[in-house]
Amino acid sequence: MTEVQSVGVAADTKPILLYNDECAVCRHIGEWVRRVSTNAAGETRLLGRPIGDDPAVLRLLNPHLTIWDAYATIHLVMPDGSMKLGGEAVAEVLRRLPATRGFARCFSVRIFGWRPCQSLLNLAYLILADSRPIFGCESCGTTAAWVRPFVWLGKRLRSRDVTARPPA
Amino acid sequence: MSATIDVADAIGTLTHSTFKRAVDENIGPVAVEFMSYGCGHCAELEPVLQEAAELLKSEVACYRVNVAVEHGLAAEYRITGTPTIVMFAQGAEAGRVEGSAPQLAALVAAIRGPFESQHD
């Protein structure tokens, strides 16, 4: 996951986390971030915004941001218009949340130029992104091969749960 | 994961206010993809559909309708899943294909098919 260069377009005074509102997992994470990034006085350290349906609105944030890419990978649009994607976006969000700021320092730790915690986070992000269909996301496209048995198992368990429930 | 496409768009976007003129009043062949930007299968189809639209631009006018916004059009054309490509000839539905077709040749054949069968 990479950092996209700034193109000199000011997004806002705070970073904007773009999330897929049609995916239950992404929606819950986006709403959690919005909630915990707001302090008691109502001040927020970053903004959470559903990606929406208008490609032109996203291009205003960054001309290189296509709506398809926004739905494919989590994007954090920085105030200078640059973007952080995937695991890098998650790390930046954690750095800005009061509750996780201290813990998130580990993502900047380098050992001979390599960032082990960031690499682990990137991997965790990929696994979570791939495994969203297990949790019922039907808008996440073709399920990765390694996830399919778990999706099948999840559907079986959910259908068993429904049939086992007594009628209201 | 990523479905990066070129910013150049060979497929026009229709809304309920532009649909009638582009499709119902068009005597030529028209293909309309009913899709949503949050649909992973639509994202997989998008680059292939862009190529197909470019290839067919002299024969078939290609458009998209975002069903997340255009609920009325989705209901009117009984769209039950995305992506669904509906082919129109002289404003009337001539055929449709549902689901992702990741091969360009298969997609081009699927779009051309209903119009060729009308000529036979």
The secondary structure element, H or E, covering residue B62 is strand B61-66
Collect all residues of chain B within an 8 Å Cβ-Cβ radius of residue A126: 1
CB A63 within 8 A of CB A9: yes
Buried b (16+ CB within 10 A) or exposed e, B82-114: bbbbbbbbeeeebbbbeebbeeeeebbebbbeb
At B94-112, the pLDDT tens digits run 999 998 777 999 999 999 9
Is the CB of A71 less than 8 angstroms away from the CB of B4?
no
State the pTM of this model.
0.78
Give domain B12-115's CATH architecture. Answer: 3-Layer(aba) Sandwich (3.40)
pLDDT at residue A12 is higher than 70:
no
pLDDT at residue A155 is higher than 90:
no
The tokens describing A44, both together, are 């927020």
The predicted pLDDT at position A5 comes to 47
CB B29 within 8 A of CB B119: no
Task: Look at residues A81, A89, A118, A65 and name the one whose alpha carbon lies nearest to residue A5.
Answer: A81
> What is the residue type of A51?
I
Is the CB of B36 less than 8 angstroms away from the CB of A126?
no
Output DSSP code: residue A111.
B
Is the CB of B4 less than 8 angstroms away from the CB of A68?
yes
Mention every residue, 6+ apart, whose C-beta is less than 8 A from residue B63: B11, B12, B13, B14, B22, B23, B30, B31, B32, B33
Distance from CA of A68 to the nearest CA of B (A): 6
Question: Per the omega criterion (within 30 degrees of 0), is the bond before A55 cis?
Answer: no
Give the best residue of A23, A69, A83 to mutate against chain B (max B CB count within 10 A): A69
The predicted pLDDT at position A150 comes to 83
Structural domain of residue A95, as residue ranges?
3-128
The predicted pLDDT at position A3 comes to 53
SS3 (DSSP) at A52: coil
Is the CB of B69 less than 8 angstroms away from the CB of A20?
no
Looking at the 3D structure of chain A, how many domains does it have? 1
Task: Look at residues B38, B68, B44 and name the one whose alpha carbon lies nearest to residue A142.
Answer: B44
Is the CB of B38 less than 8 angstroms away from the CB of A51?
yes
Q: CA-CA distance, A18 to A31, in Å (whole number)?
A: 11
A154 in any annotated domain: no
Low-confidence ranges of chain B (pLDDT < 70): 1-8, 117-120
> Which value does ipTM take for this structure?
0.79
Beta bridge partners of A18: A49, A75
pLDDT at residue A4 is higher than 70:
no
A15 in any annotated domain: yes
Average model confidence (pLDDT) for chain A?
A: 85
Mean pLDDT of A141-152: 78
| Closest-approach residue (CA) in chain A for B70 | A53
Q: CA-CA distance, B2 to A70, in Å (whole number)?
A: 9
Task: Measure CA B18 to chain center.
Answer: 15
Mean pLDDT of A110-124: 96
Q: CA-CA distance, A164 to A153, in Å (whole number)?
A: 16
The predicted pLDDT at position A40 comes to 83
Q: For the ranges A8-12, A13-17, A41-45, B112-116, which has the lowest average pLDDT?
A: A8-12
Mean pLDDT of A87-108: 95
Signed CA dihedral, B73, B78, B84, B90: sign only: negative
At B13-27, the pLDDT tens digits run 999 999 999 998 888
A149 in any annotated domain: no
Strand order in the sheet with A16-19: A3-4, A83-85, A75-77, A16-19, A47-50
